[in-house]
């Protein structure tokens, strides 16, 4: 992937898709900085990658990227990067009528403003270097707004719009800005959900997964949860010099849940 020696920052990367992205980039030879909310989670993640990839160039920062202070701490520790992956995010199923102003504020600060603030800092430096990659990990929920968590879907749409807008400012440079529309993915949280639901209903996790795609995501062509590594593979390509002609795009890794050709 020609990522050797490229310095990358992957936010929210102690577990799930973020961890898979960090591990994949490290395997490709990139120098990777991961972030998490606690030092313990950061240490566990970096150690796990080092055990798997002997020569991994991996480090981490314990930081809350939902606050301007946390962003400043991150930037102070990592002043410049070649690749920024805005992955940190939260979600919470909740009826619209029960989503408070504080709920909206929190999810926008984490899912959207973290990427705004980090991109604002690193983008100018990428432009000065005439090379860089900014990638937003969005979701198919940006298009198929989930009725059970509308506020989450709105922030995912905001990410796609931001990525496209930032891409417009890269005219004539070797800097690209793209977003990834991830679909239902088998993260640690989803794995726990499947196991817990299976125990409650006295069936197997495989049966719960089959039921999920029959009722909640019937439009999926994959008819299973994607693995985190499958999403990470696309991100690694977009992060690489090989993707130089791809800019301002919303790229799909959602298993065909979005029922459109454009």
Catalytic residues: 152
Q: HEC string of 214-256?
A: HHCCCCCCCCCCECHHHHHHHHHHHHCHHHCCCCCCEEEECCC
The closest of 133, 131, 106, 128 to 118, measured between CA atoms, is: 133
* SS3 state of residue 53: coil
User: Which residue reads 């990638």 in tokens?
Assistant: 135
User: Which residue reads 């997964």 in tokens?
Assistant: 209
- The secondary structure of residue 165, as a DSSP letter, is H
Question: Is 24:229 a contact under the CB 8 Å cutoff?
Answer: yes
């Amino acid at each position: 992937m020609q990522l050797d020696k490229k310095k990358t920052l992957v936010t929210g990367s102690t577990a799930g898709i973020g961890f898979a992205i960090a591990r994949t980039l490290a395997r490709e030879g990139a120098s990777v900085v991961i972030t998490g909310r606690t030092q313990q989670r950061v240490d566990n993640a970096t150690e796990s990658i080092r055990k798997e990839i002997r020569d991994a160039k991996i480090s981490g920062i314990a930081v809350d990227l939902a606050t301007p202070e946390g962003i400043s701490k991150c930037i102070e520790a990592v002043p410049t990067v070649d690749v920024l992956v805005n992955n940190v995010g939260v979600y919470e199923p909740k009826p619209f009528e029960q989503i408070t102003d504080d709920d909206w504020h929190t999810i926008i600060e984490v899912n959207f403003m973290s990427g705004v603030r980090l991109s604002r800092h690193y983008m100018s430096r990428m432009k000065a270097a005439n090379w860089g990659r900014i990638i937003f990990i969005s979701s198919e929920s940006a298009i198929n707004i989930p009725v059970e968590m509308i506020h989450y879907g709105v922030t995912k749409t905001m990410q796609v719009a931001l990525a496209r807008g930032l891409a417009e400012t890269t005219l004539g440079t070797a800097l690209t800005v793209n977003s990834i529309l991830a679909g239902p993915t088998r993260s640690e949280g989803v794995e726990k959900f499947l196991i817990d639901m299976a125990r409650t209903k006295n069936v197997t996790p495989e049966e719960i997964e089959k039921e999920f795609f029959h009722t909640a995501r019937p439009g999926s062509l994959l008819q299973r949860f994607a693995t985190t590594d499958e999403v990470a593979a696309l991100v690694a390509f977009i992060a690489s010099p090989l993707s130089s002609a791809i800019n301002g795009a919303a790229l799909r890794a959602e298993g065909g849940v979005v029922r459109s050709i454009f």
